[in-house]
Amino acid sequence: MSVTSQVPKGSLNGLFNAKSMAIVGASPNRDKPGNQVIRYAKAMDFDGQIYPVNPTQTAIEGLKCYKNIMDIPGRLDLVVLIVGADECVKIAQEIARRRDEKGDIAGIVVVSGGFSEGGSAKGLAKEKAMLEPLQARGIRVIGPNCLGIADQYSGVNTTFDVPPYLKGGVSVVSQSSAIAASFLTWAKDMELIGLSKFFTVGNMADVGVDEALEFLGEDENTKVIALYMEGIRQGRRFVEVAQKVSQTKPVVAFKSGRTAFGSGAARSHTGAVAGNDKIYDGAFRQAGIIRATTIAEFYYTVCAMGKQPLPRGNRICVLTVIGGPGTICIDALLATGVVEMARLSDNTKAHLRKILAPTAVVGEPQGYVDMTASVTKEMHEEIVKTILADEGVDGLIYLNTPPPFLGDEKLVESFLKAYNFFPEEERKPLLCVFTFGSNVAELRRLFERGGIPTMEFPDVAASVMANMVQYSEWRKFTKKAFLSRFNIFMKGGSNNGL
Amino acid sequence: MSVTSQVPKGSLNGLFNAKSMAIVGASPNRDKPGNQVIRYAKAMDFDGQIYPVNPTQTAIEGLKCYKNIMDIPGRLDLVVLIVGADECVKIAQEIARRRDEKGDIAGIVVVSGGFSEGGSAKGLAKEKAMLEPLQARGIRVIGPNCLGIADQYSGVNTTFDVPPYLKGGVSVVSQSSAIAASFLTWAKDMELIGLSKFFTVGNMADVGVDEALEFLGEDENTKVIALYMEGIRQGRRFVEVAQKVSQTKPVVAFKSGRTAFGSGAARSHTGAVAGNDKIYDGAFRQAGIIRATTIAEFYYTVCAMGKQPLPRGNRICVLTVIGGPGTICIDALLATGVVEMARLSDNTKAHLRKILAPTAVVGEPQGYVDMTASVTKEMHEEIVKTILADEGVDGLIYLNTPPPFLGDEKLVESFLKAYNFFPEEERKPLLCVFTFGSNVAELRRLFERGGIPTMEFPDVAASVMANMVQYSEWRKFTKKAFLSRFNIFMKGGSNNGL
């Protein structure tokens, strides 16, 4: 569907670092997206200009309103369209005219739907008609049918669903706006992550997942990439890009459209062709992409990757105050086929037995310590430190359901002392499970602020740890032998229907 | 391990409907379980007597304190032990003496650990020594190593972790106290369920999962049973009981100890022998028990079963405002192998198209409706009603991530009007997914109060609906042909290692 452009494509930097943006379809009605976009843009740490465009208004949200794109004074970098599809086609012409006259506008974000996603010839024709004058001038297009972009560092925000966020190292690329925005709203509330860039691609008329990934791979503020996708067009390029990015940054993906019906829904959603799911599985594995199978696993893997070091091996210890969840965690760890239970050294075991009550279970089964409810918050420091110091342990999962009489702050303090006792380069991943809900929300926030990822469910924590192990092994493997093998694959392989 | 008792076992009714209870190990220290138990017992709607027992105190939490069991005046029904294991053995003798002298005490709850769960000969011997004088008199023992029981209807509460709850139809049987208590704390906060009985069995020295299940099967306040188990001893009896209970009430189970290591952890936790997981799978299937594979699926299936009617068939419709989660939901539904996508009638499709925007997707793929973000809250009523009225639809999953400009109350109102439009006997299960977290917590509470179950994740909702379908099919099947087949199995079958 992509029209071959006559001129070089512009850089996405022009959009993410825009110093001025116009919102076409700006609305004075606070119940409309066209209003919310302006309020969110204003709420950011953005030191550029925001220009609402609406021929019937003189001002919206305290900002001067313009009748059209041409009237906007000075340099205009970015245009956001929240109007009907037909209107978008017309405005694309206007944008092209302005570019010809003034030489500005690096790119546009098309929030509106009604294009190729419906699968109709009419919608596809509109998408092409909108795209053509822009691509011919190297003006980049994000969408249509998307939420747009947000950058916590530059302060650009074209969305009506991603409020200002804590700055951090997680970036999100998504074909679904809802999945991405919900993740962020939730993660913000729980203080789980800090955000760098939010990047929804919608129908990918111009900018696709591969280019988004490449862009974030080069973004110095991005440490981890969360990727939600339904389908891609240029499979080989996607694998090439992802393989490169994965060398230095984890890419955690959730791919939907696994079944034929799901794939049909994906097509109606963003026009994506989901293709054979097994092929994606293989491509992800080759590219070093971590594929999550549930949404909870997807989110929490991103959060943990953003905060914690990678495990150096696959030997994991489970430390619990609660036997049931501990058992569930072990089951889930071993079911991944990736993790081994750590073999605690005799010294470690002896030391733990000295601290813990006689009813505690130490190393039976291997790698499992059930401290039982008699443990005090003060004991935690020494126990956690002892386990993390054991050379036979590559990572630790801790589980508890804090009873009402256990003080939150003391527990956090005890943990952070143990965790921060080790110099940064010697740290091992530590995940904490606190069951469940708002009962433990404040405790979880305290841990999260201290840099320790928390989860609600023991089985989810197990998947997250297994994902970290798998990515760590891929990184080690790829450093040694993978590159040559990959090159052979890329030369010999076909597009594989991707 | 169970000692053959000389006299008939007492009924569990004597414990759950106790009119007086003693707490041995009562503590004036608010940081101790022995204090929290008293406060929780007092906070219940319990019109009986609570007797703290502690030789060094005169009063605890405003209640007169007794030096020992014998001193307690009047009739004593239930004794809770929160003291060391050796002390428990001594007090069991005292309880036996009181029974001989006064003829009271129906049963005891032993919260304390340090018995057979550690696997030591010493612990096992203590458990036997404690049990013997009690079983010889028909006094029932719950535990040891458990949280005890709570009954929202009688007001009995021996736990230090289950506060007073909303009365309802869900009962919980659990070998793990933490799993059960966390579930309830969380469900209470989200107003997901109302509770009848809470029943943790710990080491099952006397009362086991089978008897708990049988008791709840006969409890008129229990509509759904949530069962967390690690292992059982009397496999055949368990299947017999469960098969009978499942005829009228859904039993939703999570069984841990799936792997050899997990099974080892379970043994150290409650002394349970997890056994071969495949055998449990088969037994559950035969008994009509719904087996959940993740904790989230476990909890939410219980919640949904408690609120909604069973689907009459397996044809499910997915109605979404958000394409990504909609796609994930379809994938997850079909991956269960249990559900078919509903075939909407031509009338239904035509009517939906009339209401919805042209960009909406109706019935492509089959059984899928993406209303897109242009839908208004008012439209919901007619759309939901139309789909639920379609004879080709057996159940509906609705997905949304409410943007800030969509009014919560209006949406709920619209839904409840549609749902309650149908007489009770014609209602179909309706599950709602709202993504995610505290952002939608209040909206979820409004739906839950209206009787509509809500979830955070689309894949979890799919599993829940599939579980409802599977149980409904089991019920239909068992009514027709299962009983005869089951009888053959029970006669011919061995204990199967359970």
Residue length of chain A? 498
Q: In terms of DSSP bridges, do strands A224-229 and A251-255 run parallel, antiparallel, or are they unpaired?
A: parallel
pLDDT tens-digit profile of B343-377?
999 999 999 999 998 888 999 889 999 998 778 88
pLDDT tens-digit profile of B134-168?
999 999 999 999 999 999 999 999 998 888 888 99
Q: pLDDT higher for B409 or B325?
A: B325
Examine domains A13-145 and A310-461 and report if their fold is the same. Answer: yes
Q: Chain A contacts of B174, Cβ < 8 Å?
A: 324
- Residue B142 has, within 13 A of its CA and on its CB side, a CA count of 36
Nearest to B268 among A189, A270, A364 (CB): A364
Q: Angle A271-A275-A279 (CA atoms, 0-180°, nearest 5)?
A: 145
Looking at residue A259, its pLDDT comes to: 76
pLDDT tens-digit profile of A61-112?
999 999 999 999 999 999 999 999 999 999 999 999 999 999 999 999 999 9
pLDDT tens-digit profile of A332-371?
999 999 999 999 999 999 999 999 988 889 998 899 999 9
What is the DSSP code string of A48-109? SEEEEE-TT-SEETTEE-BSSSTT--S---EEEE-S-HHHHHHHHHHHHHHHHHH----EEE
What is the average pLDDT across A434-452? 86
Q: How far is CA B219 from the centre of its chain?
A: 14
Q: Angle B70-B72-B77 (CA atoms, 0-180°, nearest 5)?
A: 95
Is the CB of B186 less than 8 angstroms away from the CB of A30? Answer: no
pLDDT at A6 over 60: no
Looking at residue B278, its pLDDT comes to: 82
Tokens of A216: 């974030």
pLDDT at B189 over 80: no
What is the DSSP code string of B434-452? E-SGGGGHHHHHHHHHTT-
- Give the phi and the psi of residue A362 in degrees, each rounded to 5: -120, 110
Closest residue, chain B, to A147 (C-alpha): B373
CB contact at 8 A, A369 and A319: yes
Tokens of B278: 């495949």
Average pLDDT score, chain B: 89
What is the average pLDDT across A285-302? 93
Measured between CB atoms, does B257 come within 8 Å of chain A? yes
Is the CB of B457 less than 8 angstroms away from the CB of A295? Answer: yes
Q: Which range among A148-157, A250-259, A388-397, B460-469 shows the weakest confidence by mean pLDDT?
A: A250-259
CB contact at 8 A, B242 and B287: yes
Is the CB of A323 less than 8 angstroms away from the CB of B228? Answer: no
Looking at residue A69, its pLDDT comes to: 97
| Torsion B452-B456-B462-B466 (CA) sign | negative
pLDDT tens-digit profile of A208-238?
999 999 999 999 999 999 999 888 777 889 9
Which amino acid, one-letter code, is at B51?
Answer: Y
CB contact at 8 A, B155 and B149: no
Residue length of chain B? 498
Give the number of beta-carbon pairs within 8 Å between A and B.
Answer: 266
pLDDT at A18 over 60: yes
Looking at residue B401, its pLDDT comes to: 83
pLDDT at B1 over 70: no
Looking at residue B253, its pLDDT comes to: 95
Looking at residue B149, its pLDDT comes to: 96
Number of separate helices (H) and strands (E) present in chain A: 17, 20
Is the CB of A174 less than 8 angstroms away from the CB of B366? Answer: no
Q: Which of B331, B369, B374 to mutate to test the interface with A (most CBs of A within 10 A)?
A: B331
Q: Chain B contacts of A119, Cβ < 8 Å?
A: 364
Q: Which of A36, A145, A186, A268 to mutate to test the interface with B (most CBs of B within 10 A)?
A: A268
Looking at residue B120, its pLDDT comes to: 85
CA distance B400 to B322: 6
User: Strand runs (DSSP E) across B389-491, as ranges?
Assistant: 395-400, 430-434, 454-455
pLDDT at B68 over 70: yes
pLDDT at B491 over 50: no
What is the average pLDDT across A304-321? 96
pLDDT tens-digit profile of B7-17?
788 899 999 99
Which amino acid, one-letter code, is at B319?
Answer: L
Residue B189: other Cβ atoms inside 10 A: 15
| All residues at 6 or more sequence positions from B491 whose CB lies less than 8 Å from its CB, including other chains | none
pLDDT tens-digit profile of B463-473?
999 999 999 99
Tokens of B229: 């188990």
Is the CB of B175 less than 8 angstroms away from the CB of A33? Answer: no
pLDDT tens-digit profile of A274-287?
667 888 888 899 89
Measured between CB atoms, does B278 come within 8 Å of chain A? no
Q: What share of chain A is helix, strand, coil (3-state, %, to 5)?
A: 45, 15, 40
CA distance A78 to A10: 12
To the nearest whole Å, the CA of B11 is away from the closest chain A CA by: 28
Q: Which range among A399-408, B274-283, B386-395 shows the weakest confidence by mean pLDDT?
A: A399-408
pLDDT tens-digit profile of B70-106?
999 999 999 999 999 999 999 999 999 999 999 999 9
Nearest to A322 among B176, B324, B328 (CB): B176
B404 pLDDT tier (thresholds 50, 70, 90) = low
Instruction: Give me the residues of A, 358-417, that contact B with CB < 8 A.
Output: 358-359, 361, 364-368, 370, 372-373, 401, 403-405
Looking at residue B406, its pLDDT comes to: 57
Looking at residue B382, its pLDDT comes to: 95
Instruction: Give me the residues of A, 124-153, that contact B with CB < 8 A.
Output: none
Q: Which CATH superfamily is domain B13-145 in?
A: NAD(P)-binding Rossmann-like Domain (3.40.50.720)
- For A167-306+475-492, the fitting CATH number among 3.30.1490.100, 1.10.10.10, 2.40.50.140, 3.40.50.261 is 3.40.50.261
What is the average pLDDT across A172-177? 89
In chain A, the percentage of residues whose pLDDT exceeds 90 is 68
Is the CB of B324 less than 8 angstroms away from the CB of A174? Answer: yes
B490: left (phi over 0), alpha (psi -120 to 50) or beta: alpha
Looking at residue B484, its pLDDT comes to: 54
CA distance B335 to A56: 51
Please state which CATH number belongs to domain B310-466: 3.40.50.261
Q: pLDDT higher for A375 or A483?
A: A375
Q: Angle A404-A409-A414 (CA atoms, 0-180°, nearest 5)?
A: 110
Q: Which of B115, B185, B436, B443 to mutate to test the interface with A (most CBs of A within 10 A)?
A: B436
Looking at residue B110, its pLDDT comes to: 97
Q: pLDDT higher for A224 or A324?
A: A224
Domain boundaries, chain A: 13-145, 167-306+475-492, 310-461
A163 pLDDT tier (thresholds 50, 70, 90) = confident
Q: Which CATH class is domain A310-461?
A: alpha beta
Looking at residue B353, its pLDDT comes to: 95
Instruction: Give me the residues of B, 165-224, that contact A with CB < 8 A.
Output: 174-179, 181-183, 185-186, 189-190
pLDDT tens-digit profile of A30-55?
888 899 999 999 999 899 999 999 99
CB contact at 8 A, B405 and A31: yes
Tokens of A201: 């691609």
pLDDT tens-digit profile of A250-260?
999 999 877 77
CA distance A460 to A334: 13
Q: Give the ranges where B103-231 is alpha helix by DSSP (H).
A: 121-135, 177-189, 209-217
Is the CB of B361 less than 8 angstroms away from the CB of A269? Answer: yes
Average pLDDT score, chain A: 89
To the nearest whole Å, the CA of B140 is away from the closest chain A CA by: 24
Q: How far is CA B13 from the centre of its chain?
A: 19
Report the candidate in B174, B175, B140, B180 with the shortest Cα–Cα distance to residue B160. B180
CB contact at 8 A, B304 and A405: no
Tokens of A409: 């702050």
CB contact at 8 A, A251 and A288: yes
Closest residue, chain B, to A403 (C-alpha): B161
Looking at residue A161, its pLDDT comes to: 83
What ipTM was predicted for this assembly?
0.78
Is the CB of B331 less than 8 angstroms away from the CB of A259? Answer: yes
Instruction: Give me the residues of A, 313-352, that contact B with CB < 8 A.
Output: 318, 321-328, 330-331, 334-335, 341
Q: pLDDT higher for B7 or B328?
A: B328
Instruction: Give me the residues of A, 437-456, that contact B with CB < 8 A.
Output: 437-439, 441
Q: Which range among A76-80, A159-163, A251-255, A414-418 shows the weakest confidence by mean pLDDT?
A: A159-163
Looking at residue B6, its pLDDT comes to: 56
H or E stretch covering B299: helix B295-307
In chain B, the percentage of residues whose pLDDT exceeds 90 is 68
Q: Chain B contacts of A359, Cβ < 8 Å?
A: 113-114, 117-118
What is the average pLDDT across B314-338? 93
Looking at residue A258, its pLDDT comes to: 75
Q: Give the ranges where A336-479 is alpha helix by DSSP (H).
A: 346-355, 377-389, 408-420, 441-449, 458-477
Is the CB of A185 less than 8 angstroms away from the CB of B436? Answer: yes
Is the CB of B330 less than 8 angstroms away from the CB of A259? Answer: yes
My answer on whether omega of the bond before A309 falls inside 30° of 0, hence cis, is: no
A395 pLDDT tier (thresholds 50, 70, 90) = very high
Nearest to B295 among A118, A322, A459 (CB): A459
CB contact at 8 A, A387 and A429: no
Longest dimension (CA), chain A: 82
Q: Chain A contacts of B410, Cβ < 8 Å?
A: none
B423 pLDDT tier (thresholds 50, 70, 90) = very high
Looking at residue A242, its pLDDT comes to: 95
A490 pLDDT tier (thresholds 50, 70, 90) = very low
CB contact at 8 A, B108 and B95: yes
pTM: 0.84
